[in-house]
Amino acid sequence: MKKSRNVFISFLGTNPYSASRYVGKDPEVDMTTRFVQVATLKSVAHHFGPGDKVYIFTTTGALKNWNDQPIPGTNNEMDARLHSELRELEIDSDIENIHVEDGQTQEELWAIFTTIFDVLEDGDNLFFDITHGFRSLPLLMLVLINYAKFLKNVTVSGIFYGAYDKNRWESPIWNLTDFSKLQDWTNNANIFLRTGNAKGLVKQIKGDTLKDVKVGLERFSEFTLVNRGMDIYKGDEIIKLSQNLNTIGASDNPADKAAEPIFKKVRDTFEPYKKDSSINGFHAVRWCIDNGLIQQAATLLEEFIITYLMDLIGIPNKTSSVTRSVILSFAKSGPAEYRYGTRPDYSLEKEKKICDDLFKIEELSDIGAIAKDISNSVRNDVNHAGFRKSPGPKSYMDIRTITIEQFNKLCDVLATRGHQIEKIIEG
């Protein structure tokens, strides 16, 4: 397997740079130089070795700061410029100067973007010094970083800025890497909240102290992506996840503080869940619809209608397939059309008792109509992958529309019993 490269990237401007003492704790450095790139590269030099790369991008006008220049009034004495100073660091990595446009037009900015992107390889570990360059460099680099993360699977280990002040001898080097990490938190949390896939969010969470959060997010994804109804019903792991997410925060680190609202938004997803409640299933249905998981939503909706009716008539065993079949059939057909005694080895007395109890539920006909439409119009279609001659397969939008309509109807029914579940309003 090919080793990932460490890559240092910086721009060199046209100014006649003055010397300054560049200092920093993260990265750790303290040295005097005219070129901040020397200081920032030295601070991360322990990462670099054979096969790694240092890229300095220059315009034509900036070459005077790259190549050594004659000192006026001397005989062949040269003033060391950036290239020479970088070589004096004795880093056993290739140092390369690459020409870029001036960045005066939109087309030139795109050309710069492409030039930088093209030197990157899959899996590179990047260090950026963004001190010098055109005014739009920070925006360009942030976009480039996200683009390269997605297309070339790069990792960003450092973004540095030398805060030079001509009125002060000492210039601090700022580590801006946390802004890239915050962008990752935002992107991964958004993916989770939009798709239900927690993989990226889990991968970004580091440290043993948040191990339970990682496990909880993974488990919730599993519950919804493959419809683990009893886990959703019990709610134990989801409630624990919500509690663990509450422990994130109270940090003095600005980046951690900025990430706290992101985790709060994730945590809000799990707050409605209760222990041993069929209502959990309807919260999961809404989650699936919001995340485009229509097949999962339709299956959960029908199955948790059955489970909800079981709760109403006091049946503790939620996994009896025959009992569930009795309840669904009676709810869909009603007492006039339901046929007793069609299930071998199932007590007729028990069957009648269940149906009598169901008949006492005032909203049964409304609930049954919802279950019937979901079963006939959606679930049979999606669970058989549309391989139906009559009626033919429905489109995605038809299936989605029916699922939302029936979910909203159920929300109205549940509201009469004090269960407030937010409807899905589109448009």
| pLDDT tens digits, 93-141 | 999 999 998 888 889 999 999 999 999 999 999 999 998 866 677 778 8
Q: Rounded distance, CA 157 to CA 160, Å?
A: 10
Please check whether residues 156 and 242 belong to one and the same domain: no
Residue with tokens 């950026």: 128
Examine the domain organization and report whether 256 and 242 are in the same domain.
yes
3 state DSSP class of 28: strand
- Model pLDDT for residues 355-387, shown as the tens digit of each residue: 999 999 999 999 999 999 999 889 888 888 888
Give the end-to-end CA distance of the chain in Å, rounded to a whole number.
49
The SS3 call for residue 126 is strand
For 78-102, the DSSP string reads EE--HHHHHHHT--SSEEEEEE---
Among residues 119, 154, 175, the one where a domain terminates is: 175
Q: Does 1 map to a domain? A: no
Residues in the chain, overall count: 427
Q: What pLDDT, on a 0 to 100 scale, did the predictor assign at position 391?
A: 79
pLDDT, residue 98, reads 96
Cβ-proximal residues to 73 (8 Å cutoff; 6+ apart), any chain: none
pLDDT computed for residue 366 by the predictor: 95
User: Given pLDDT bands bounded at 50, 70 and 90, which one contains residue 308?
Assistant: very high
pLDDT digits (tens, 9 = 90+) for 289-303: 988 889 999 999 999
- Contact status, residue 240 vs residue 231, Cβ threshold 8 Å: no
Residues 6+ apart with CB under 8 A from 83: 56, 66, 67, 68, 95, 97
Among residues of the chain, what percentage have pLDDT more than 70?
96
- Residue at which a domain ends, from 240, 275, 310: 275
| Mean pLDDT, residues 61-79 | 83
Does some domain include residue 94?
A: yes
Query: Does residue 321 share a domain with residue 334?
Result: yes
Using CA atoms in the order 336, 341, 347, 352, what is the torsion angle rounded to 10 degrees? 10
340 class by beta-carbon count within 10 Å (0-12 exposed, 13-18 middle, 19+ buried): exposed
Is residue 47 one of the residues assigned to a domain? yes
Asked, for residue 29, whether it belongs to a domain, the answer is: yes
195 and 170 co-located in one domain = no
Instruction: Pick the more confident residue, 84 or 196.
Output: 84
Please indicate whether residue 367 or residue 27 has the higher confidence score (pLDDT): 367
Task: Give yes or no for residue 248 having a pLDDT over 90.
Answer: no
Q: Which amino acid is at 30?
A: D
288 and 332, same domain (yes or no): yes
Q: Does residue 413 share a domain with residue 313? A: yes
Total number of domains constituting the chain:
3
Instruction: State whether 100 and 168 are in the same domain.
Output: yes
Q: Does position 313 have pLDDT exceeding 90, yes or no? A: yes
More confident residue, 325 or 197: 325
Is residue 39 very low, low, confident or very high in pLDDT (cuts 50, 70, 90)? very high
Q: Is the pLDDT of residue 210 over 90?
A: no
Residue 73 domain-assigned?
Answer: yes
Q: Are residues 183 and 135 in the same domain?
A: no
Residue 192 CB coordination number (10 Å): 22
- Identify the domain containing residue 350 by its residue range: 277-427
- 34 near 21, Cβ under 8 Å? no
Q: What angle do CA 16, 19, 20 make, to 5 degrees?
A: 130
Give residue 249's pLDDT: 62
Residue 252 pLDDT class (50, 70, 90 cuts): low
pLDDT at 251: 60
Per-residue pLDDT, 310: 97
Mean pLDDT of the chain: 89
The reply to whether 311 falls in a domain is yes
Q: Are residues 215 and 233 in the same domain?
A: yes
264 and 290 belong to one structural domain: no
Query: What is the distance between the alpha carbons of residues 216 and 85, in angstroms, rounded to a whole number?
Result: 51
Helix axes of 279-290 and 396-415: crossing angle, nearest 10 degrees: 150
* Residues 78 and 168 reside in one and the same domain: yes
Domain finish residue from 223, 243, 275: 275
pLDDT value of position 358: 96
Answer yes or no: is 123 within a domain: yes
Kindly report the CATH number assigned to the domain that includes residue 22: 3.40.50.10640
- The confidence score (pLDDT) of residue 349 equals 94
More confident residue, 206 or 345: 345
pLDDT at 134: 64
Q: Output the pTM of the full model.
A: 0.76
Q: State the DSSP string of 146-178.
A: HHHHHHH--EEEEEEEE---TT-SEEEEEE-HH
Q: Please say if the pLDDT value at position 239 is more than 90.
A: yes
Q: What is the mean pLDDT of residues 157-168?
A: 88
Name the token pair of 33.
């130089």
Contacts of 379 (CB under 8 A, 6+ apart): 298, 299, 302
Contact 358, 309 (CB under 8 A): yes
The answer to whether residues 108 and 189 belong to one domain is no
